[in-house]
Amino acid sequence: MDVMMPTDTAAPEAAPGGAAPAAPPAAPPHTVSHMFGEIVWLLTQSPIHRHLKLADLEWLVMPPLLAEQYRIYRDGTKPVGVVTWGYLSEEAEARLTAGERPQVGDWKSGDRCWIIDLVAPTTTAENLLAARMLDDLRQTALKGKAFKLQQTDPKTGERKVVEVGALQDSE
């Protein structure tokens, strides 16, 4: 499993005198629209998410994408999972735990780190993809930060809040 982080999409700087850049980028940049497409594709592969409406993408995908609060996981070049997170205020956290969806302004409204969504359509008990994605986040993008997430029991639909402690440098 490879990890794809948000990529700098700026064009290479021109050489002095307006000449072409010295060397083209190794790979085409991953634009917001490209990453958006990959995330939407992953949502369509997930039985839990495929019922979403286009309007849901405004609150579920665009805020973390624009804030670079997401991480796409790959098997080679194929996207296999995505995690989004937000830094919520106390009020936004209360709404989230009450079952409400985050509002656009909630994603960067405070200091309470929450995994808002984890999409891993191919996760199994054997490959543990979802667990590996969370472990990667603890070691990289969210290192040193405690965070929370909601887990839903697939049989009962009951939600519970799980608190994940901060991973320190010595771990």
List residues with catalytic annotation.
49, 117
For the purposes of burial, counting CB atoms within 10 Å of the CB of 88, is it exposed (0-12), middle (13-18) or buried (19 or more)?
Answer: buried
**How far is the C-alpha of 134 from the C-alpha of 136, rounded, in Å?**
5
Spatial contact of 136 and 73, defined as CB atoms under 8 Å apart: yes
Edge-to-edge strands, sheet with 70-75: 2-4, 70-75, 78-88, 112-119, 147-152, 159-164
